[in-house]
Structure 1
Amino acid sequence: MAMIDLRDVSRRYLLGSNEVHALRGVSLRIEAGEYVAIIGQSGSGKSTLMNVLGCLDTPSSGQFLIDGEDAAGLGPDELAALRRQRFGFIFQRYHLLPHLDARANAALPAVYAGVPGAARIKRAESLLARLGLGERMHHKPNELSGGQQQRVSIARSLMNGGQIILADEPTGALDSQSGKDMLALLGELHAQGHTIILVTHDAHVAAHAKRVIELRDGEVLRDSGTPPDHRPPAASAAGEDGPALQAGGWWQQRQGQWREALQSAALSLKGNRLRTALSMLGISIGIAAVVSIMALTTAARSSIEKDVGSFLSGRIPVWRGNPNLPPGTQPQPFRPNEIEAIRALPGVKGVTVEREVQLTARHGSRDSMVSVLGADANILSARKLKLVEGRMLSPLDLSSSAQVALIDDKARKNLFKPGENPVGKTLLLAPGGGMEAQAAQAQALASGAGAELPVGVSLPVTIIGVVEPDTGGAVQFGAWLGQVLVPVSTFSRKLDLRVDADQIHVLLDFTVPPEEVRKQVHFRLKALHGVEDFDSWNADEEFKKIQSVTGAMALLFAGVGAISLLVGGVGVMNIMLVSVSERTREIGIRMAVGARQADVRLQFMVEAVVLCCLGGLVGVGLSWLAATGLNAFQDKLTVHVDGTALAVAFGVSTLVGLIFGTLPARRAAALSPVDALARE
C-alpha cells in the first residue's frame, strides 16, 4: 500500500462567476521514502497539488489516501492533526514568524503537538545546531540571511519528525550557493529516510530528485514513476537528532497552548504599541467611568442611607391633626396617659415628645426669629448636629433647669457680628411676634400652671456652645430658622408649660414588625380619642423606599457608564478584526504547522482579553486618582475604590474581551490555510 495515493483528484475554484480547474483528474502514488519533484510552469497546478498533498487544501472530487485513510473527508482539526504528525513544510518565502527567534520558530510545531517545553526547546536547539545555526538560534528572522532562514524552516519541518517533507520552491529566494546547500540538505534528509516532495519550475532543481512528475494545465503530463530500485525505509524517519518527540499529558498540552497564546498576545500588543495604547484608552475610559460611578454612587448611597436611616429608622412619628377630619372638628393633643398607653404596646421601646416653639431672640441691638427646642443629652445625634465651640449641656444643666443654651450657626450669624465669640454671652428669648406662643403661655397662666415667664417678658439664657450641621454626610438635617437648644427641663418649666404634646415619636425595638406597631398605635389612640384626629407614617418603610430609589439611581448611573464601556468594546473588536487581517499569513503558518481552529481562536481571544484587562487596570488607576482628588477637595463624601471595584473591573474587562473578541477569533479560525498563506 502506497503512503500517498491520489485517485482522480480534481480541484476547482470560483473566481467571481468563473470556475477555474486547478487540477483535473490527477492520479498518482507515492511510496514512503521517495524523493519526488513536481515540475511545471506557473499555472500548471503544481502548488495546488502540493497543498492537497500537504493537507492544506481538500480536493473538490476524487480520493486522497494517506496510508489507506481518505483525507478528503476529514475536518479542519483532523487535517491539522495530520499536518502536525506527518508533514513538514519548507516554503519559498520561509514563512517564519517575525516576532519569534530562530529557536521558537523551529519549536512551533511541537507547541501544537503538546510537547513539554523543555523537550521541545532541547530538540529545536539540536536541530538548529545540526543545521549550522547553533550561534544564531536566538536571532529573529530579520537578523538572518535568506539561507539561514530557510535552514530554520527545515528545522521546523523536522520538529515533529517530518516523515513527509513538502518543499515549495525552496531555492527560489536563495542565491546560487545557498540553493546548492539547500538541495544538499534535502538529499541528506532523503538519505535518512524522509519522504521528500519538491515543487519547482526549474528542471535543474528537479534533476536532484529520483522521480519527476510534470504537470500542465492541472493534469499529469509525465511521471517517471517510482525508481525500480526504491526500497521503503525500515521505520519512520528519525534523523540524527533522535526519534520524534512524544506529546505530554492533557494538563501539559493545555499549559503549552495557554502559554503560547499569552506569549503571542504579549508580543503582538508590544509590537503595535500605539494601536494598543489607543485601544486600551477606550476600555480604560469605560472602566474608569463604571468604577468611578459605582464608587461615587456607593459613597452617596452609604452617606444618604446612613444619615436618613439613623434619623428615620426605628421610629414612627405621630402628630396631631388629620386632613380627613370633618369640618369644624378640632384634633386633640396627646395626653400623658395616652403616651403611657402607647409606651406599653408590644414592640415599643419608648416614646419621645417633640418640644419646640418659635420665639424672638435678642442680643444687643439685633433680634431674630428662632426655633427653641427642649434638648436632652441625645439632642446632637438626633438632630445631626455637632459641637464646634464651647461645651455640651451637662447633667446638672438638665436636672437644675439651668438657663443656658446652645445656638446653631444660623442663629449665630443673625445675632452676632462676624468673628464675635457668642460663648458666654446672654440671649433674651421672648414670645414677641409669635401669636401661637403667646396664646399658649396666656392659656398656661390662666390655668395656674405656675409659669415663670409671663407674656411679654423675656427669658435670659447664657450661651454655652455653638453647634452646626454635621458635615460628615451628604444629607443635612436643619431648620429654616436659627435654632436655640435649652435644657428640656427649662423648656417645660419656663417656655411651654403644657403637659400635652402635639407630636410624639414612637421608638421601636423591632420585636414586632414596624407596620404592625403602627396599626396598634392607631387602634389605641383612636379608641382613646374616639376619632382618628391624628396621623403617622412608618419611617422604616419610607427609608426602604429611599433605599430602592437610591439603588435605582445607582443602576441608572452605572448604565450610563456602561455605554462608554460598550463603545470601548466595539473599538477593541474593530482593532482585533484589523489584527486578524494584518496577521492572516501568521495564521496560515500556524495552521500549516498543526494549529487547530481552537488554537487559533484561543490565541485571538486571549489577546482581546489581555488587551481589555490592561485597559481595565489603567481604568482602575484613573478611578483611584479621581477618587483621591475628590476626597482631597471635599469632605462630604468619602469615595473609595476598593478590592470589590478592582474585581468588578477585571471581571467586566474580561467579559468585554470575551464578547468583543469572539467575532475576530472565529473569523481567524475559519480561514483556510491555503488562502491565509497566500496573503501578504
Structure 2
Amino acid sequence: MNEASPGAPRVDPAAAGAPLIELRDITKTYMRGDVATEVLHGISLDIHPGEFVAIMGASGSGKSTLMNLIGLLDRPTSGSYRFDGEEVSSLDADRRALLRREAFGFIFQQYNLLASATATENVEVPAIYAGVPHGARVQRAQEILTTLGLGERLNHRPSQLSGGQQQRVSIARALMNGGAVILADEPTGALDSKSGEEVMRLLHDLNAAGHTVLLITHDPAVAAQARRVIEIKDGHIVTDRGTTAPPPGAAAALQRRTEHRASAIPDTIEAGKMALRALRANLMRTLLTLLGIIIGVASVVAMLAIGDGAKQQVLSRITAMGTNLLLIRPGAPNVRMAGALTATLVPADADAIDDLPNVAVAVPEYPGQVTVRYQSRDYVTQADGTSQFFPQARDWPVASGTFFSDTDVKSYTPVIVLGQTVVRALYVDGTDPIGTFVLVNNVPFQVIGVMSAKGASPYGADQDDIVFTPITTGALRLFGQRYVRSITVQVEDVSRIDETQEAIRQLLIARHKSEDFQIRNMASILEAATETQNTLTILLGSIAAISLLVGGIGVMNVMLVSVTERTREIGIRMATGARRFNILLQFNTEALVVCAIGGLIGVVAGLGAAWAFAQLGRPVMFSAGPVILAFACAFATGLLFGYLPARKAANLDPVVALAAD
C-alpha cells in the first residue's frame, strides 16, 4: 500500500493478516530505441486475500502495466514483488508461468478466446498445462460453465456466442485452476450495459466466495462497485480509499489454489490434439503444406522404384509445349554468336510467313527484363512483346480478362497481360488485377488479362513469371527495338512440318538475301530429348532426393507465418500457464503432424505410382528400404524445420504477444 497516498485505507494488521500481494518501489521503464520511458514510478502497494480492488486511471496512466506486473505477464524494471510471501520479481519464465497457472485467472476486455475451440475447450486450457487428466478437466470445465449459465453452450465456438457469453467463458477459464486472484482488465469495456452488469455481478459473487479480485477500469462508476479503489495517474498512485477487510470466504479461495495443483509433465497427446485443431482451422494452408511433403516423399519412393519414370515426366512436358511448332531465331546456322543477338528478324517476316501454306499462325516475340510496379510493390520479371495470336500458338489460354487484340497491336495500346507468378507477387491482398494500372519501367500500362497457370518449363524455369504486351507497344515504349528475338510458327499438318520448314527457310533467304537465321523443329527436339533418358533419370532422381528439403523449407515458412498470425493465441496460452516448453512442444508437434501425415500419404502415393507403372509393363522393384527412408526423412524434416518457428513462438514475451493484433 502506498502509505504516502491520500485517502489510504486504514488496515488492522491483525484482522487483515499478511498481504497476498506486496509491491515495494516498483518501477517499469520501456525502451524505444535509445529513448527510455518510465511508466511506473516507485509503486508501493499491498493487497490482502479476498479483497475486491479497482485500479482506476485514464488511458496511459499505467494501470494496465501494473496489472501485467501483478499477473506476472511482465517484469518490473526495479523494485520488489512478493506474492504470498515469496519474492517473484526475479523468477525465470517457466516459474512465472507455473505461478500464473496456479494462482491467477485473467479476464480480458476482448475475451481472448481461441476462435477454433469450443467453450469447454477454451475453459480447459489452463488445466491442460496443469496436467489434469482429460476426463477430470472436461467435467470441471462443464461444471463451471453450467454454474455461469452456459450449460446449453458448452460446444459453441466464440463466434456463436454473444459478447456477454464470451466474457463468461473467459471468467470460467480464469476459475479453471482455482483462480485465487482474478485479474479483470476492463471486463465490461466491450459489453452493453446489461451484459456489463451481469459480469460485475459475477465478479462480486466470486469475491464473496473468497477470490481476490483486481479490476482494471477507467470508468469511475465501475470502479465504485469495488470495496477498495486505487487511482493511478502518470505512473503514481494518487488515491487509495476503501477497506481491505477480507470477506469470510477468502481462505477457501486460497485453499482451491493448492487443491488444483497437478503434474507439470507435458502431455504430448494433448499437444497432438491441439496441433490437429490448429491445422484444421487453416485447412487450405495445411493442405498446401501437406502437398509439399507428399510430393517429396512420393517422389523419393517412386523414383527409387522406377528407373526411367522421371524421363517420361520430362518428355511429357516437352510434348505439352507442342510438337507442331517451328522456332525461328536470328543468327546464322552452326555459328556461335558472341555478345548481343544479331538483329535480323522483323515483325514483317512473321507477316510474310503467315501467308505460307500449312502455317496456322506466325507469332513474333521480343522478350526482355522489366520492373513492374503496382502501388508500392516492385517485381522484376520477363516481358514479352508479341502478337494477338500468342495464346493460340502456345496453347496457353487466358484465365481471366482477355488477351490484347489486333487493334491494340496496330494502335500501340499500352495494355498488359500478367502471368500467375507476377499476380501473386504484386497483388498480395487478393485484389482483382483486371482494370488496374501498373508501371512497367515507369511506363503506365492497364492490366486487361491474366494468363492461366503454365507451370515450370522442361528446364525448370517458371513460365508464369512473365507479362505480355503488344509487340508494337513494347518496341516503342519498353525496348526501343524494331527487331524481334524469335518467331514461333504453328503448322496445321504436323506430317508436313519438314516441308513447311524448308518453305520458311527459302522465304527468309529471299527476304534477307542471306541465311542469317536458325529454324528449330520441335518434333526433332522431342526425338533428341528421348536420347537423353539416362541423364534425365539421374537428374530427376537427384531432384526427388532433395524435394523433401524443399518441402521442409515450406513447412518452416508456413509455421513461421502461423506463429506471426497466432501471436495473440500464444500470449493467451502463456497467460493461462503455458511454459515455454509447452509452446515449443505444441508448434513443433504441429510441424511433425503435418510431416507425418504427409509422409504416410506420400508413401502410399509413391507406391501407388510405382504400381501403376508396373501395370503398364515398366520394370519396378519394390523394397522396404526406400519406404522407411522416405518416411524417416519426412519425420526428421518436421522435427528439424519445425524447431525454429517453435522456438520463436516459445521465446515470445507474454505481454507483447497479448498486445498483438
Q: TM-score, normalised by structure 2?
A: 0.61
| Partner residue in 2 for 1:611 | 594
| Partner residue in 1 for 2:227 | 210
CA deviation after TM superposition for structure 1 residue 281, in Å: 1.7
Of 665, 669, 676, the match for 2:646: 665
Distance 2:538 2:87 in 1: 58
Of 279, 283, 287, the match for 2:289: 279
SS of residue paired to 1:595: coil
Is the 8 Å Cα contact of residues 31 and 232 (structure 1) preserved in structure 2? Answer: no
Distance 1:20 1:236 in 2: 41
Q: Does 1:263 align with 2:273?
A: yes
Q: Does 1:679 align with 2:660?
A: yes
Structure 2 counterpart of 1:31, one-letter code: H
Distance 1:60 1:555 in 2: 61
Distance 2:595 2:176 in 1: 35
The percent of aligned pairs where both chains have the same amino acid is: 51
For residues 25-104 of structure 1, what are the structure 2 equivalents within 5 Å? 25-104=42-121
SS of residue paired to 1:96: coil
CA deviation after TM superposition for structure 1 residue 230, in Å: 4.0
Of 188, 202, 205, the match for 1:171: 188
CA deviation after TM superposition for structure 1 residue 18, in Å: 2.0
Structure 1 counterpart of 2:287, one-letter code: A
Q: Does 1:595 align with 2:578?
A: yes
Distance 1:127 1:238 in 2: 18
| Partner residue in 2 for 1:288 | 298
Distance 1:293 1:60 in 2: 59
Is the 8 Å Cα contact of residues 210 and 247 (structure 2) preserved in structure 1? Answer: no
Is the 8 Å Cα contact of residues 56 and 592 (structure 1) preserved in structure 2? Answer: yes
| Partner residue in 2 for 1:162 | 179
CA deviation after TM superposition for structure 1 residue 248, in Å: 5.4
CA deviation after TM superposition for structure 1 residue 262, in Å: 1.2
Distance 2:636 2:308 in 1: 23
SS of residue paired to 2:251: coil
Which of these two proteins has the greater Rg computed from alpha carbons?
A: 1
Is the 8 Å Cα contact of residues 262 and 603 (structure 1) preserved in structure 2? Answer: yes
Is the 8 Å Cα contact of residues 301 and 607 (structure 2) preserved in structure 1? Answer: no
Of 599, 620, 628, the match for 1:638: 620
| Partner residue in 2 for 1:411 | none
CA deviation after TM superposition for structure 1 residue 267, in Å: 1.6
Distance 1:181 1:203 in 2: 18
CA deviation after TM superposition for structure 1 residue 562, in Å: 2.6
Structure 1 counterpart of 2:301, one-letter code: V
SS of residue paired to 2:183: strand
Distance 2:648 2:36 in 1: 25
Distance 2:582 2:161 in 1: 28
Is the 8 Å Cα contact of residues 101 and 130 (structure 2) preserved in structure 1? Answer: yes
Structure 1 counterpart of 2:31, one-letter code: L
CA deviation after TM superposition for structure 1 residue 638, in Å: 2.7
Distance 2:127 2:243 in 1: 32
Q: Deviations over 1:488-526 (max 9, x none)?
A: xxxxxxxxxxxxxxxxxxxxxxxxxxxxxxxxxxxxxxx
CA deviation after TM superposition for structure 1 residue 558, in Å: 6.1
Structure 2 counterpart of 1:638, one-letter code: V
For residues 560-571 of structure 1, what are the structure 2 equivalents within 5 Å? 560-571=543-554
Structure 1 window deviating more from structure 2 (625-634 vs 56-65): it is: 625-634
For residues 290-369 of structure 1, what are the structure 2 equivalents within 5 Å? 290-296=300-306
| Partner residue in 1 for 2:253 | 237
Distance 2:217 2:108 in 1: 11
Q: Deviations over 1:252-289 (max 9, x none)?
A: x44xx223211221122222222112112222222122
| Partner residue in 2 for 1:105 | 122
Distance 1:93 1:226 in 2: 30
Distance 2:593 2:298 in 1: 17
Of 170, 179, 200, the match for 1:183: 200
Q: TM-score, normalised by structure 1?
A: 0.59
| Partner residue in 1 for 2:633 | 652
CA RMSD, 1 decimal: 2.4
For residues 620-635 of structure 1, what are the structure 2 equivalents within 5 Å? 620-635=603-618
SS of residue paired to 1:224: strand
Is the 8 Å Cα contact of residues 120 and 245 (structure 1) preserved in structure 2? Answer: no
Distance 1:663 1:555, change over 3 A: farther
| Partner residue in 1 for 2:38 | 21
Unaligned runs of 5+ in 2: 1-17, 310-535
SS of residue paired to 1:36: strand
Q: Deviations over 1:107-141 (max 9, x none)?
A: 11111001111111111111111100011111111
| Partner residue in 2 for 1:585 | 568
Distance 1:673 1:243, change over 3 A: closer
Is the 8 Å Cα contact of residues 612 and 653 (structure 1) preserved in structure 2? Answer: yes
SS of residue paired to 2:253: coil
Structure 2 counterpart of 1:294, one-letter code: L
CA deviation after TM superposition for structure 1 residue 621, in Å: 2.6
| Partner residue in 2 for 1:452 | none
Distance 1:245 1:159, change over 3 A: farther
Distance 1:267 1:296 in 2: 37
Of 162, 172, 193, the match for 1:145: 162
Is the 8 Å Cα contact of residues 5 and 30 (structure 1) preserved in structure 2? Answer: yes
Unaligned runs of 5+ in 1: 300-552
SS of residue paired to 2:642: helix
Distance 1:647 1:236 in 2: 57
Distance 2:203 2:19 in 1: 22
CA deviation after TM superposition for structure 1 residue 565, in Å: 1.3
Distance 1:275 1:131, change over 3 A: same
Structure 1 counterpart of 2:293, one-letter code: I
